[in-house]
Structure 1
């Protein structure tokens, strides 16, 4: 059984399922929820709103991370589970993989994506990259 499990958590329904799955499947593991602030998102904000938006982007992203961590912590508390949370900045797949490597993670759990119909058969780009490149087991929740 894994001792140290990393759950990619962005507040989406699939990430909530992934966290719930992790708590139920690995009750004795240390569970860490990771949220990645993606700087690429700032480009869209700058294009839409200019330089003042660029200055505020990172502060807004940190506030969003805090809200998302609160959601994860509350979900874990409802199941009488303690949860560590971490925020990283970078490309999501790369940040998840680097964190796992640097912190002796035994298992990664993450949602696939929110698509429906025929596209559901394919993984999202982050989950696909993590699955292909991880040196440890990855569980994808759909």
Structure 2
């Protein structure tokens, strides 16, 4: 059994399912959730709303991260577990892999995707990259 489990959360139903799975299967492990704020998302804000909309993208992204972690923490508390939560800034796959390496994570549990099919085709799959490059076992939840 792993002692430390990392669960990347992006707010999607599959990432929530991954957290549920991790809590059920690895209840004795230290579970950490990670949400990665991707600076590339600010480009979408510029395209959709111009520079004024992009000027506070980070504040909105941080609020979203806080909400995701709060929901996860409450869910874990309902199962008598404490979670560690982390928010990183960067490219999601890279940030997840770096965190796992730097903190001696034993297992990663994540949803198979959080984006639409079109976004995944254009941007690539974070889960795919993590699975290929991780130095620890990765469980993909579908």
User: TM-score with structure 1 length normalisation?
Assistant: 0.90
Aligned to 1:46: 46
Counterpart of 1:76 in structure 2 is 76
Match of 2:129 in 1: 129
Superposition deviation, residue 114 in structure 1: 5.7
How many residue pairs end up in the alignment? 135
Structure 1 unaligned segments of length 5 or more: list them: 117-123
Q: Is the 8 A contact 2:15 2:114 kept in 1?
A: no
SS of structure 1 residue aligned to 2:80: coil
Matches of residues 8-47 of structure 1 in structure 2 within 5 Å?
A: 8-47=8-47
Instruction: State the distance in 2 between where 1:20 and 1:112 align.
Output: 14
8 Å contact from structure 1 (residues 11, 72) kept in 2: no
Question: What CA distance in whole angstroms lies between the structure 1 residues aligned with 2:88 and 2:114?
Answer: 22
SS in 2 for 1:52: helix
Shift of 1:115: 7.9
Aligned residue for 2:119?
Answer: none
List per-residue Cα deviations over 1:28-62 (Å, max 9, x = no partner): 10000000111111001012222222221111110
Q: State the Cα deviation string for residues 51-98 of structure 1 (Å, max 9, x = none).
A: 222221111110111011111111111111100100011111111000
Q: Does the aligned pair in 2 maintain the 1:111–1:141 contact within 8 Å?
A: yes
Does 1:112 find its partner at 2:96? no
Q: 1:15 to 1:3 in 2, by over 3 A?
A: same
Question: Partners in 2 of 1:125 and 1:35 — Cα distance?
Answer: 16
Ranges of 4+ aligned residues in structure 1 off by more than 4 Å: none
